[in-house]
């Protein structure tokens, strides 16, 4: 039975859901706080990718050290990598706080900024080349994910941890968590040893699947902290401890496999693909948890499908042509040669006439 929607409706009817009739300015202020935190989070996280990659590259130059991609943990002794981890921690902390003030449908898509920040900094600090098709792929990643976000189910208004606790026990969300756990275990134990070194999607899928659960944990902890600060202590509530445990496990697993992906593959490839998959699974998790898929219109369904197709095309461009030397000069030169050949043929035909 759908206990959570009933409880939400009851709370709203009694004015307990946190929505104030005369509190529009308060809600607007919370929205702006969440927006600012989400933007700053993306800036810190985008920078952290570059700094951590720098630390992993330093480790690769030290004889006798096993690289992270080969299962080594020597980066734990490198201060540059720890600086990158600190930046990511600040970014994740801001991201965590943003979920307490704004819905996931706003916070998660703004992760696209980390893609742009990482792409710009990697070309400057890491000398990583991204060909023309890769740049188009990055752009399509952002555009496709934006379309998905615009047409995705929107998160409901949940301001009480008791309501969230009932939602977490809904059969649909329990099934999603079970499927994510099984898929992650299969990727970690079966596919990662075989294909992890050659296919960037394997490690990114692990990070993204598990990351979708960490967002729910962030939401729960954020609600617990907000309620506690208002005088209703929720730090010993069962949902708080479940979310805290889940967050620790999920983040540590994400960090491990994200380090492997960064050590093996180009940062400009890892970042956009990670953003796309992470955003997608977070939206799926939020849609299932807050039971919003049933309210989708035909417009949204078509838009969602179009967004996914755009994302698939973007990933194809990023992976299939990443080793080709394609640039504006090459394209321009090809067009110039074709035009010159056509003009020559036309001149020869005119001379024959």
Question: What pLDDT was estimated at residue 19?
Answer: 43
In a domain, 16, yes or no: no
Q: Give ∠ CA 84-133-198 in degrees, rounded to 5.
A: 60
Sign of the dihedral through C-alpha 312, 316, 322, 326: negative
In a domain, 132, yes or no: yes
Using the predicted structure, report yes or no on whether residue 3 has a pLDDT greater than 60.
no
Residue 138 lies in domain: 25-322
Question: What pLDDT was estimated at residue 46?
Answer: 85
In a domain, 45, yes or no: yes
Q: Are 130 and 268 in contact (CB under 8 A)?
A: yes
Question: What pLDDT was estimated at residue 190?
Answer: 93
Cα–Cα nearest to 291, from 159, 157, 108, 101: 157
- Please give the share of the chain, as a percent, with pLDDT higher than 70: 71
pTM: 0.65
Per-residue pLDDT tens digits for 123-149: 777 777 777 887 787 788 778 777 877
In a domain, 334, yes or no: no
Residues 6+ apart with CB under 8 A from 269: 134, 200, 318, 319, 322
Per-residue pLDDT tens digits for 231-285: 888 888 888 899 889 989 988 888 889 888 878 887 767 877 887 788 788 878 8
In a domain, 332, yes or no: no
Structure tokens at 165: 């606790």
Q: How far apart are CA 214 and CA 252, in angstroms?
A: 11
In a domain, 19, yes or no: no
Domains: count for the chain: 1
In a domain, 9, yes or no: no
Using the predicted structure, report yes or no on whether residue 323 has a pLDDT greater than 90.
no
Mean pLDDT of the chain: 76
Q: How far apart are CA 283 and CA 285, in angstroms?
A: 5
Burial (Cβ within 10 Å: 0-12, 13-18, ≥19) of residue 199: middle
Q: How far apart are CA 314 and CA 312, in angstroms?
A: 5
């Amino acid at each position: 039975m759908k206990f959570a929607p009933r409880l939400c409706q009851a709370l709203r009817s009694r004015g307990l859901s946190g929505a104030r009739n005369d509190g529009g300015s308060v809600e607007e202020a919370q929205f702006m706080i969440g927006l600012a935190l989400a933007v700053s989070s993306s800036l810190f996280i985008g920078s952290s990718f570059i700094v951590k990659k720098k630390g992993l590259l330093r480790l690769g130059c030290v004889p006798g050290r096993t690289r992270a991609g080969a299962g080594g943990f020597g980066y734990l002794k490198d201060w540059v990598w720890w600086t990158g981890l600190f930046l990511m921690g600040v970014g994740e902390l801001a991201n965590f706080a943003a979920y307490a003030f704004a819905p996931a449908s706003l916070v998660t898509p703004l992760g696209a900024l980390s893609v742009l920040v990482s792409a710009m900094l990697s070309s400057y600090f890491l000398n990583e080349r991204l060909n023309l098709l890769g740049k188009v792929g990055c752009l399509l990643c952002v555009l496709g994910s934006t379309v998905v976000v615009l047409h995705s189910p929107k998160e409901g208004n949940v301001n009480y941890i008791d309501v969230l606790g009932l939602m977490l026990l809904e059969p649909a969300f329990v099934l999603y968590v079970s499927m994510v756990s099984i898929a992650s275990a299969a990727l970690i134990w079966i596919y990662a040893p075989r294909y992890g070194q050659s296919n960037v999607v394997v490690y990114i899928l692990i990070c993204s699947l598990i990351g979708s659960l960490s967002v729910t944990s962030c939401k729960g902890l954020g609600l617990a902290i907000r309620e506690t600060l208002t005088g209703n202590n929720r730090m010993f509530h069962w949902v708080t401890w479940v979310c805290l445990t889940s967050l620790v496990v999920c983040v540590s697993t994400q960090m491990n496999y994200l380090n492997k992906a960064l050590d093996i593959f180009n940062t400009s490839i890892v970042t956009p693909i990670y953003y796309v998959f992470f955003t997608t699974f977070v939206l799926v998790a939020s849609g299932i948890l807050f039971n919003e898929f049933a309210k989708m219109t035909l417009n949204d369904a078509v838009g969602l499908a179009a967004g996914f197709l755009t994302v698939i095309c973007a990933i194809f461009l990023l992976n299939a042509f990443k080793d080709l030397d394609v640039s504006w000069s090459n394209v321009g030169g090809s067009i110039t040669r074709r035009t010159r050949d056509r003009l020559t043929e036309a001149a020869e035909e005119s001379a024959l006439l």
